[in-house]
A and B are shown apart, each in its own frame.
Chain A
Amino acid sequence: MNAIESLKYFIPELVLLGGAFVALTLDFFLKQKKLVGEFALLVIVVALCLAKAPEKPLPLFFGFFHLDALAHFFRYLALAAVGITILISLGYTPLKKRYEGEFYSLFLFMAFALILVAAANNLLMIFLAIEFISLLSYLLVGFLKNDPKSKEAAIKYLLFGSVCSGVMLYGMSLLYGAAGSIELSVIGDTLFFAPFKPLAITAALFFFVGLGFKISMAPFHMWAPDVYEGAPTPVTAFLTVAPKALGFAVLTRVLDSVFWNSQSVWSPVLVILSILTMTIGNITAVSQSNIKRFLAYSSIAQAGYILMGLAVFSILGRGAVLIYLLVYLLTNLGAFTVVLFVGGQTQSDSLDAYAGLSERSPTAAAMLTIFLLSLAGLPPLAGFIGKYYVFAAAIEGKFITLTIFAAINSVIAAYYYFRIIRLMYLTPATGPAFPAPSRSLTVALWALFLGVLALGIFPGFFITRILG
């Protein structure tokens, strides 16, 4: 499909892009910077309303932008993540001293970039879109430039990210050398021939490095705790879900259309990486004393569970990845919303700030408990559905060792999630009660809370919507 014809399917993305530029301009004229945030929110909502599911896969812009069911699902996911992040950023005080308007406009660009990644169907597009996200992420992580931790995080992220991108780019060059094309499907057809198998495996491993960095897969996870701790809390919340989800989207697409023939080789690799990721994440999380680092390691562990679905790569496994990503998005953003609220009240991200939270703010404590229980995968919450899905996929594919490791890991995870719950409910409060959270935080909290409950109690409805 040529560029002009494609435009009519590209409206939500155009709205985002236009909205981002308008937000930048508005920033010049408006004194009340919060209005820029509200405008950005409006743009997201409009884009959400305009996004329509494609009847059949559409190769827009000469196939550079491949709009299919997968891309459409990630479009919703990206918009939801960005929307909620903007919503919870509205009352974030450290931002007031910086260029608040730019912050929101950067997030609109981010939404655009995320959708590009999900729909990218050739090597060039994939690389450019991922770099687009990375650059925006570096900027957002270092947004509070007077905060040394934020600066350190940004530099660390930049260095680590560049190396991993470089390795992935090298893998891409190998693929291009072999196939003479940047089209994923053409490369996939070329790699079908036996002589190319070693090359396919090498390239797949290089992809695992580049995308493993994005999804914080061990052993490429080292950056995550420092970056998550140093970044402004709303950015951390965002980074733990959106880029990760999109990393999985690309990985799914690449494995599906390029490396499908060598599954017998990369599948065991992913099994090992999955076990490694969840184990490292969980064991390190146990001893954390900062809530953001704590959730960082927990999110590494969660990536390990999602990888289970990719390692199996059956129909059920790929479905499991999508369901788990949605579950994880709602739950983790929810947990971070409470972290943001408590951080705003106590000016601290230390775990001690959560002592007796059930007395200081019963709603926040109850909500965080629900989110943590969901992360721990207890029914009848969303997290259980995600975990059930990956377990089911693994059992169906007879990956028994993997499931046993995952089960043991879930127990370790429950232990440290309950550390927070214990602090909130079993430890006496150290200070006076908190005032009620701001309106935007309340809206975000309740929306995520209801989402987690609804997904847990009526999973059938969501599964039908997502997987058809």
Chain B
Amino acid sequence: MTSHILSWIIFTPLIGAFAVLFVPKNATACIKWIALITTGIVTALTGYALTLFQPAQAGFQMIERGVWIPQFNVQYLLGTDGISFPMVVLTAIISLLACLASFGIKERQKEYYALYLLLETGMMGTFLALDLFLFYVLWEVVLVPMYFLIGIWGGPRREYAAIKFFLYTLAGSLFMLLGILGVYFAATPHTFDMTQLAGMPRGLFFQQIVFMAFFLGFAIKVPIFPFHTWLPDAHVEAPTPISVILAGVLLKMGTYGFFRFSYPLFPEATHWFQPAMAVLAIVGIIYGGFVALAQTDFKKMVAYSSVSHMGFVLLGLAALNADGFRGAMLQMFTHGTITGGLFLLVGVLYDRAHTRDLNGFGGLGVKMPAYAGFLTFFALASLGLPSLSGFVSEFLALLGSYQYSKPVTALSTIGIILAAAYLLYMVQRVLLGKLNPKWAQLPDINLREVLTLVPLMVLILGIGVYPRIILDYMIPTLDALLKTIKVS
């Protein structure tokens, strides 16, 4: 088992999905427990892998290699390093918590949990695949369950949101496929193997073209302005646990793609596109912030705040230096935990009030004191309060970008001010002020919901106070990456 630990992490959810399919439709309790136990096992396996992981080592670890399609030299190649491993941990935790949060779903539960577990297989595989072909296959496996999860269990405009999400991502990934094929045929010998491809020299023009093909795939997923329009729709219409997964994991697949594939494969193009990436980062940060400020729908506000916060990841990526990379990587993790938590909290309120209109609330702090505490905590974490993890990652990203360009950094800090504005304005409208008598009977947050939030808070506080607990895992790999893409 030790030698195939990554395969187990990927395929345990698939086994769980099949188990769910064989349970009668009416045995909902049984189905829920199978799903929860499966995600629990995956988390345990990830924890076990954590003990095997050598943080100080920069290269790929726990590699599994097998021939898949000999005609195209396609391999079943898995491996992890300081870039993908934190993402795997994040996926495991978010999947477990979102599964617990899914217990509120009452319709067509069998289909829900089967698709949910299939989705986890896709996400884990995306982060662990080192063969471009395998990566593409698993990247696409995420799409179909996501379509159904939004389309069946979503809000009123779910069908539109689901197909929009699907088509946007599919369009991007098809161009990525063309890019992958370009890389494949340009390599001698033809291969999809990342461990071999990373060091190969390529012409600048070729790099630019293929970088753009990959960029389309990843940028739509992140999403980077102007490809972000699917995000508010998908986030708002998706059921709460799926919004959590979307914000917590799926968005990271895009930025992970830059770290894992675009940068090491196309170092010269990366430098060439650096200013463009920085500009897109600023646009995302500021635009996302302003739009979030204008929202009256709670969930939409959090969705646009994602656009803004993911802008910081891009900013760190664009900085092309050690601090920037660390900031970007850490921001990917912390954004997953913080925004995941915020979406859970939106869900808690929505389940009780059946509305998300920020202007319709008020004074809930009196009726729901525990909820108020949680919401304040996550809001402060999101706006970057020192000693919480959001501060560390955004600070590092800005530190990195400062070394690259001062105007870029100056403009990006506007995003932090905006974050404070829209989050505090939200807290004010929901928790403070006069109690709207309509909500006088709302019960406070319950134990199950608390359980979904507490692990996230532990992570946020832990990383905020002592970031090295996670940075130590990332730094050797990121430094090695920086060396690979250094252009003399």
Q: A378-B144, A463-B71 are in contact. Are A404 and B178 (CB under 8 A)?
A: yes
Q: Tell me, yes or no, whether A147 is within 8 Å of chain B by CB.
A: no
Q: Binding site of B, secondary structure by majority: helix, strand, loop or mixed?
A: helix
CA distance A407 to B72 in the complex (A): 21
- B178 close to A460 (CB less than 8 A): no
Q: A414-B167, A460-B68, A463-B71 are in contact. Are A395 and B181 (CB under 8 A)?
A: yes
- B175 close to A407 (CB less than 8 A): yes
Taking the closest CB of chain B, its distance from the CB of A87, in whole angstroms, is 26
Find B144's partner among A373, A410, A411 (CB 8 Å cutoff). A373
6 contacts between A and B (CB under 8 A): A378-B140, A378-B143, A395-B185, A407-B175, A426-B151, A463-B69
B contact residues, range: 20 to 34
A459 / chain B contacts, CB cutoff of 8 Å:
69
Proximity bits, A400-436, B CB within 8 Å = 1, else 0: 0001100110110011001000100110000000000
Find B178's partner among A378, A380, A407, A422 (CB 8 Å cutoff). A407
Select from chain B the residue with minimum beta-carbon distance to A391: B181
Select from chain A the residue with minimum beta-carbon distance to B154: A426
Select from chain B the residue with minimum beta-carbon distance to A460: B69
List residues of chain A with CB under 8 Å of any chain B CB.
373, 378-380, 384, 388, 391-392, 395-396, 403-404, 407-408, 410-411, 414-415, 418, 422, 425-426, 459-460, 463-464, 467
A410 / chain B contacts, CB cutoff of 8 Å:
170, 174
Taking the closest CB of chain B, its distance from the CB of A364, in whole angstroms, is 15
- B166 close to A418 (CB less than 8 A): yes
- A464 close to B71 (CB less than 8 A): yes
- B182 close to A380 (CB less than 8 A): no
Q: Tell me, yes or no, whether B148 is within 8 Å of chain A by CB.
A: yes
With most chain B CB atoms within 10 A of its CB, the pick from A388, A391, A396, A403 is: A388
CA distance A410 to B158 in the complex (A): 23
Select from chain A the residue with minimum beta-carbon distance to B175: A407
- B177 close to A391 (CB less than 8 A): yes
- B136 close to A379 (CB less than 8 A): yes
A391 / chain B contacts, CB cutoff of 8 Å:
177-178, 181
CA distance A426 to B162 in the complex (A): 11
Q: Binding site of A, secondary structure by majority: helix, strand, loop or mixed?
A: helix
Which residues of B in the span 107-141 have a Cβ within 8 Å of any Cβ on A? 136-137, 140-141
A379 / chain B contacts, CB cutoff of 8 Å:
136-137, 140-141
- B167 close to A426 (CB less than 8 A): no
- B174 close to A426 (CB less than 8 A): no
Q: Tell me, yes or no, whether B70 is within 8 Å of chain A by CB.
A: yes
Q: A392-B181, A426-B152 are in contact. Are A411 and B174 (CB under 8 A)?
A: yes
Which residues of B in the span 140-168 have a Cβ within 8 Å of any Cβ on A? 140-141, 143-144, 147-148, 151-152, 158-159, 162-163, 166-167
CA distance A392 to B136 in the complex (A): 14
Q: Tell me, yes or no, whether B52 is within 8 Å of chain A by CB.
A: no
B162 / chain A contacts, CB cutoff of 8 Å:
426
A407 / chain B contacts, CB cutoff of 8 Å:
171, 174-175, 177-178
CA distance A350 to B148 in the complex (A): 23
Select from chain B the residue with minimum beta-carbon distance to A400: B178
Proximity bits, B240-268, A CB within 8 Å = 1, else 0: 00000000000000000000000000000
- A425 close to B185 (CB less than 8 A): no
Taking the closest CB of chain B, its distance from the CB of A403, in whole angstroms, is 5
Closest 7 pairs (CB-CB, A-B): A379-B137, A395-B181, A407-B174, A460-B69, A411-B171, A463-B71, A379-B140
